[in-house]
Amino acid sequence: MVVTPLRYPGGKYKTYKLVEYLIKENNCISYAEPYAGVAVKLLLNNRVDRILLNDYDKSIYCFWKSTINYTEKFIELIEKTEVNIEIGRSIQKLLT
């Protein structure tokens, strides 16, 4: 099962068990990847102490940075933000 709020999740989540095993076998405490799929799950499951994220798409990077470092504020903004077509289109323009 993919656990992501993003519309187009990648397929790297399928490698989670292998990466988890390799981290355990090599006593790793940090994990770095160019996207956030496996990294966030490893962090949330307390398999690593920290993750290093990078993404070509700045909005993806900012999304994960916000959800990890500003969780409560991020949730509050989601709950307070009105959702409609006009707002959706204006957000889409900002991101493209």
pLDDT at 12: 65
pLDDT computed for residue 36 by the predictor: 66
Checking if the pLDDT of 4 tops 90, the result is no
C-alpha distance from residue 28 to each of 34, 37, 80 (Å):
18, 18, 39
E-strand ranges in 1-96 read 30-33, 50-53
Name the band, by pLDDT with cuts 50, 70 and 90, for residue 13: low
pLDDT for position 52: 79
Provide the whole-model pTM.
0.46
Contact 81, 87 (CB under 8 A): yes
The Cα 66–Cα 77 span in angstroms is: 11
Banded model confidence at residue 82, pLDDT cuts 50, 70, 90: confident
Question: Following CA atoms 51, 55, 61, 67 in sequence, which dihedral angle do they give, to the nearest 10 degrees?
Answer: -40
Nearest to 40 by CA among 73, 77, 10: 10
Q: Which of 42-46, 59-63, 74-78 has the lowest mean pLDDT?
A: 59-63
Residue 30 pLDDT grade (very low, low, confident, very high; cuts 50, 70, 90) = confident
pLDDT at res. 91 = 83
pLDDT at 46: 92
Cα distances (angstroms) measured from residue 79 to each of 24, 30, 73: 37, 32, 10
